[in-house]
Amino acid sequence: MPKIFTPFSLRRKRELLLIGFFLSPSLLVLFVYRILPLFWNFVLSFLYWAPARPAKFAGLAHYEEMFFYDEVFREALFNTVVYMGSMPLAIAVALLIALAVNSQIRGRNIYRTITFLSYPMMPVAVAIIWQWLYNEKVGLFNYLLRVTGIISHSFSFLESVTFSLPSVIVAGMWQILGFYMIILLTGLQSIPQSLYEAAAIDGAGGLQKFFHITLPLLRPSIFLCMVIAVISSFTSFDLVYVMTGGGPGHATELLVTYIYKKAFGLTEFDYAAALTVVMFLLFLGITIVVNRFSGGEVGKVDVTL
């Protein structure tokens, strides 16, 4: 029996064709600049390839070298995990600032503005500012440490194998702190005040309100901050490269800076592609774990005191 097309189905088809027509330029750009390079990078990780030589199948050779013989990769991976592990501290500090500027204090709008000012700055500018702060001869930190008598001779923060990575982490935390604060402040202001009033009637104190009302309702905002923290940990190329270049040695080498050096410094594009695949899988896995811990009962309020 032949299928009968109703006017409704014809109109629906025309609408879908029109939607596809308007979306096609964006989808084409997405395919050419996102999906196709991602697919080519995955294929390239299994090849021996360079611009001046034909491609040959390498199998898992790059991954074998990476996991069993490349000590710099292991150090870069460790530094990336440490860099990422420090971000919850930045979120905690941002939460304290958000709680402070959300209260009825004088000049809170000024404090919000001052805290947020660091985020719009270019990472290169931030790196140059913190290079000056850490400078051994004219840096502000060395000057304050000498004046207070904590040290007698200037200390080189960025040339120390022990302190270079923490110094870079502090600069990264300072830059993104204001962004976390804005996200958490928005979450705080969306919490109904009636919940706090009801809890106060039941005799709840400040800490009980915080743990039973504020934190549960802030879980979506905290999850967003965690995802941004993971992304920034894997993409903090500008800041690290300008401040230390991955040095001294490889003390501040991150996966993203190591990939850049392999690809554009040594023209080992095939090995850099394998590094990128590993970094992508690590990023995806950490995001899933963060989602597991932050999801599920996001937004649930426990007012049992």
Task: Write the CB contacts of 304 (distance below 8 Å, at least 6 apart in sequence).
Answer: 212
Query: What pLDDT, on the 0 to 100 scale, is given for residue 2?
Result: 53
Query: What pLDDT, on the 0 to 100 scale, is given for residue 6?
Result: 55
Largest Cα separation within the chain, whole Å, is 95
Tokens of 259: 């990939």
Terminus-to-terminus CA distance in the chain, angstroms?
67
Half-sphere exposure for 162 (CA within 13 Å, toward CB): 2
Query: What pLDDT, on the 0 to 100 scale, is given for residue 4?
Result: 53
The dihedral through the CA atoms of 136, 137, 140, 145 has a sign that is positive
Write out residues in the chain with pLDDT < 50, as ranges. Answer: 1, 5, 296-305
Query: What pLDDT, on the 0 to 100 scale, is given for residue 267?
Result: 87
What is the architecture of the domain spanning 70-294? Orthogonal Bundle (1.10)
Query: What pLDDT, on the 0 to 100 scale, is given for residue 303?
Result: 43
- 223-242: per-residue pLDDT in tens? 888 888 888 888 888 999 99
Q: Is the peptide bond before 37 cis (omega within 30 degrees of 0)?
A: no
* DSSP code, position 201: H
Cα separation, 252 vs 261, in Å, equals: 13
Query: By the 8 A CB rule, do 301 and 213 touch?
Result: yes
